Structure 1
Amino acid sequence: NKSLLAVFPTGGGKSITFQIPALMAADNAKALTVIISPLQSLMKDQVDNLEKKHGITEAVTINGLLNPVERQQAFERVAGQNPELALANILYISPESLRSVSIQKLLINRKIARFVIDEAHCFSSWGQDFRVDYLYIGDFIKKLQERKGLKDKIPVSCFTATAKQKVIEDIQAYFKAKLDMDLEVFRANASRTNLQYKVFNKDDEEQKYAEVRRLLEARNCPTIIYVSRTKRAFKLAERLCQDGFDARPYHGKMDKEEKTANQNAFIDGELDIMVATSAFGMGVDKSNVGMVIHYDISDSLENYVQEAGRAGRDENINGDCYVLFNEDDLDKHFILLNQTKLGQKEINQIWKAIKDLTKTRNNLSNSALEIARKAGWDDSVAEIETRVTTAIAALEDAGYVK
């Protein structure tokens, strides 16, 4: 029952190291393993693979891609309320779901074997994928243990492919502070001998596109093309289709039905080319991806290693990893990074807005956009909802709001 932090490379067999113990805990004690994951595509893919490849039906996911009937069935399977539905002993949920009262009630009534936290680098402000929702996980586990009256702590397993030392220290410090828990660190070798890397210097967008066409024509295989912006994902996929390629976009702002359909088509082999932002691919298990093309550079070297690692997950396949680069990409990259930075001034503005909105009441039910406007922010501010949420998370962590 030790708690741990495992650093595994992309494609290193991470999932099996928590799925097998979860199935053993289910078999021995009818206990539930809760797997917290940042991406809906990852959760769906993991559950589908367990059933399709291994005939394991004990896993469910509760996320925004489900329709009301599917969501209700998932709740009933976890709760064991419906004798006509098989009991679920592995639950995949997103970190923001932990704030749901219905999820809290659901987990109180089940014996919890372990919390598994995937993509744990999202805890760290030093990681490019920092997610404010992750900062609530420790508080949730602590409250759950208290409400259950548990003497022993529920063990935690954290997994990440990011081996940056400062990120690992952040994760360890977080669990020590929140749950007085010492995470033992396990590291796996990150070497991938079946991947080949190459960078092409291109002067402009037309040269980049011509190179993409050449690469796609030279090797007919499942391919992921990574771009930095949602608009580019759509436009590049559209242009490839006009030129006779079967390509579809995938990004975080798409309609959920379209996202699911595009993901399923790619995983099932009906579609060979996915043009995507970083919202696609994290944990997606498709073993025969032969080529990963970075049309735009990644947020960080760690993210690049993860994204390029989608190629050649079958070690018998050689994966080609290409970067199409020009000097302007760096300027755009730093502009994007600066747009997402949040300073003390912005946090103070949000704090003042919240105080103004709660002058005559204790509770607040305004949208992020309403709070931003109250803070005097312009609607055109990039990633405005994320910035408001980040500010509120910082205030919550400091004890100013709850």
Structure 2
Amino acid sequence: MASSNASSDAKSDAAALMDQAQTLLREQFGLADFREGQRDVISRLLNDKNTAAVFPTGGGKSLCYQLPSQLFDGTTVVVSPLIALMKDQCDALAERGIAAARLDSTLSSDEFRAAMKGIRDGSIKMLYVSPERFFNERFLASIGSLNVSLFAIDEAHCISQWGHNFRPDYLKLAILADKINAKRILALTATATPSVLEDIRDVFQIAKEDAIRTPFYRPNLQIRSRVLDRTEHYSQLMAAIRERPAGCTLIYVSRQKTAEEIAEQLTNDGFAATAYHAGMDPETRHRVQQEFIASPNGIVVATIAFGMGIDKSDIRYVYHFNPPKSLESYAQEIGRAGRDGEDSICEMFLVPDDRIVLENFTYGETPARQAIGKFIDLLSGQADHFHISHYKLSAETDIRILVVKTLLTYLELEGYLQATSPRYDSYKVKPLVESRSILNQFKGEPREFIAAVLGCLTKGRTWFTLNMTVACKRLGAERERIVKAMDYLAERGWVEMKVSDLVHGYRWQKRIDDPKLLGDDLFDRMAQREASEVARLDDVFGLAQAAQCQADTLSSHFGDTMAEPCGRCSNCIGDGPYELNQTSTRSIGTSARDAVDDITRRFPDHFTTARDRARFLCGLSSPAFVRARITREGSYGVCDGIPFADVVRQLEQ
């Protein structure tokens, strides 16, 4: 009977909270009612259930954690890989009178202190954090005592190693959610296929009925495509811009150089356009974003670096001058159009040869079998418990940093390694007040401990150095206690602290008994990922052919069904289907062969296989290429218009 009463009380409490949520929605967020799916997600969270929200881009995912955060007693921690999104959402919440903080690499020491103070005293109930922060010993020491009422993971599709944007750090978030005793979990994404959603549910222990998916199709988006010859590529884009009513326009391209060229060309032709890409300095990127957000009809030509988390509702056109790398990417990018509900056009100008560039990007990620062997050898030589720099591992094996992280994650999943706490090898400290003033704030043993820690500082010109290994031995103290002590001093504004040289900790669960067999297995896995990424381009090019309703094609990819064709896409208005001409095999030519022979003579250690030489000719960098400045050679990338596989084949002949 008591159990029945408790259950009844819990339901009554959740219903009361839902009433409060409705009031909060109206009074604090200025909205009359919930969008589709939002009420279902929020009510599950209020009933203490782990929940997944799969809403299309612009479908209102952020409200699903922002609103409940104001009803829960503790802190809502939001994990997001997007610094721009964190800042924009914090600013937007502040305008509504809701305090939120973010912890990212752009914060000053004062901003970090203010954020942590607000979280601790309860005046700030929402904290945005990047995934990498959770592998930061300073951060873990800071939040260890927090009451985490909700742990929200944005871009949760990154959890799936077979998804379109796998990020190894995401796989460890479930362990960390448990470590910080999160009361409930919310996984959010716009681009989960059925298999990726299953991965998300498995990792975060979400029941099938608690995974809320709303319809993918947005009727106000008109999906269009054209298959073009290279000679008419730019002219067709310009004609579309000229013939249609002016409106905010995003043009996506594959390369930074293309972004700059197209922006310049459009501007010369009378359409003021601005380039945006990751190669620009942060201040310039921020300025371009803000100008675009404020403009009623601005044009930005951008790589995929642009758009994530941009809060602009009136984008009328999204053009893909170059194709996206997957339907998931395409869905995210066109999802930025028409968030105000007004008609918007999303058009792809497909030149079949553009597939070469995208495929070559994918091939550039796959390490050589020899590099994987060296990776295994370096790890095998480590002690039972060890710390290692991912960047040094990348440099020593010539494997890109993200791939290094992926390989380490595979070793964890296979039970070879277990990740332990990361740490910084270098701590720099600058006192802002006299030591006496600091010590006067403490009494007894804490005072003695702080005095001993300060006594371990080695003076430099401006900054003191704290060698953590030496300090732990000298004081006979746990590293975590010293880190917490220094963070406490920094939070109070008594010292300023800088950390560097991040190293990640691991513990061997079982040793590698057959390095060759494991190396073959890891290489096969990477080859499978390579094949999977290339196959995603088949889906993109299939959509562009418009052989059937394009809205239905997209919806089906994400596990949704449409009752009838959209009536507005290229296929439905009678423009499709298009033919895709087969690209003919081109010879790399004698000059390219001479160039690669020359570079091989000069850097024999970097070019032991045909694949190494093909990377050079196709312009695919690697840590070793960058370090040896091989990417600055005049002939680097001379074959970037030829499929990587064709270049390898010709070099092997």
How far the C-alpha of 1:288 sits from its partner, in A, is 0.5
Which one of the candidate residues 128, 138, 155 is aligned to 1:102? Answer: 138
Tell me, yes or no, if structure 1 residue 193 matches structure 2 residue 219.
yes
Instruction: Compute the RMSD of aligned alpha carbons.
Output: 2.6
1:22-47 deviation line (CA, Å, top 9, x unaligned):
1222xxx2x11011112112222222
What percent identity do the matched residue pairs reach?
Answer: 33
Specify the code of the residue in structure 1 equivalent to 2:310: V
Mapped to 2, the partners of 1:400 and 1:40 lie a distance apart of 30
Tell me, yes or no, if structure 1 residue 62 matches structure 2 residue 100.
no
Q: Is the 8 A contact 2:322 2:351 kept in 1?
A: no
1:331-386 deviation line (CA, Å, top 9, x unaligned):
32222233334688755432323345x47x95445452x323422x2xxx7xx222
How far the C-alpha of 1:271 sits from its partner, in A, is 7.6
1:279-309 deviation line (CA, Å, top 9, x unaligned):
3223322100000011111121122122111
2:53 corresponding residue in structure 1: 6
Specify the code of the residue in structure 2 equivalent to 1:168: L
Which one of the candidate residues 384, 399, 403 is aligned to 1:387? Answer: 403
The secondary structure found in structure 1 opposite 2:225 is: strand
Which one of the candidate residues 334, 339, 344 is aligned to 1:308? Answer: 334
TM-score, length of structure 2 as denominator length: 0.53
Q: Is the 8 A contact 1:342 1:391 kept in 2?
A: no
TM-score, length of structure 1 as denominator length: 0.83
The secondary structure found in structure 1 opposite 2:106 is: coil
Q: Is the 8 A contact 1:121 1:160 kept in 2?
A: yes
Specify the code of the residue in structure 2 equivalent to 1:282: M
Q: Is the 8 A contact 2:250 2:299 kept in 1?
A: yes
After TM superposition, the structure 1 = structure 2 runs for residues 80-229 of structure 1, keeping only pairs within 5 Å, are 80=121, 87-145=123-181, 154-176=183-205, 182=207, 184-204=210-230, 207-217=232-242, 218-229=244-255
How far the C-alpha of 1:188 sits from its partner, in A, is 0.7
How far the C-alpha of 1:216 sits from its partner, in A, is 2.7
1:327 corresponding residue in structure 2: 352
The secondary structure found in structure 1 opposite 2:359 is: helix
Specify the code of the residue in structure 2 equivalent to 1:224: L
1:174-198 deviation line (CA, Å, top 9, x unaligned):
224xxxx646211111221111121
2:78 corresponding residue in structure 1: 35
Mapped to 2, the partners of 1:95 and 1:47 lie a distance apart of 17
| Matched length | 369
Q: Is the 8 A contact 2:323 2:348 kept in 1?
A: yes
Mapped to 2, the partners of 1:231 and 1:61 lie a distance apart of 33
The answer for unaligned runs of 5 or more in structure 2 is 1-47, 419-505, 507-653
The answer for unaligned runs of 5 or more in structure 1 is 81-85, 146-152
Larger radius of gyration: 2
1:277 corresponding residue in structure 2: 303
Q: Is the 8 A contact 2:375 2:393 kept in 1?
A: yes
1:87/1:171 Cα in 2 relative to 1: closer, same or farther (>3 Å)? same
1:59-104 deviation line (CA, Å, top 9, x unaligned):
1222223344433333333233xxxxx9221111111111112221
Specify the code of the residue in structure 1 equivalent to 2:417: Y
Mapped to 1, the partners of 2:177 and 2:416 lie a distance apart of 18
Mapped to 2, the partners of 1:240 and 1:210 lie a distance apart of 10
After TM superposition, the structure 1 = structure 2 runs for residues 281-296 of structure 1, keeping only pairs within 5 Å, are 281-296=307-322
The secondary structure found in structure 2 opposite 1:24 is: coil
2:283 corresponding residue in structure 1: 257
Q: Is the 8 A contact 2:76 2:150 kept in 1?
A: yes
1:169/1:98 Cα in 2 relative to 1: closer, same or farther (>3 Å)? same
1:16 corresponding residue in structure 2: 63
Mapped to 2, the partners of 1:348 and 1:57 lie a distance apart of 52
Mapped to 1, the partners of 2:366 and 2:340 lie a distance apart of 38
Specify the code of the residue in structure 2 equivalent to 1:100: N
Q: Is the 8 A contact 1:97 1:103 kept in 2?
A: yes
Tell me, yes or no, if structure 1 residue 299 matches structure 2 residue 340.
no
Mapped to 1, the partners of 2:159 and 2:369 lie a distance apart of 20
Mapped to 1, the partners of 2:229 and 2:104 lie a distance apart of 42
Specify the code of the residue in structure 1 equivalent to 2:169: D
Specify the code of the residue in structure 2 equivalent to 1:92: Y
1:149 corresponding residue in structure 2: none
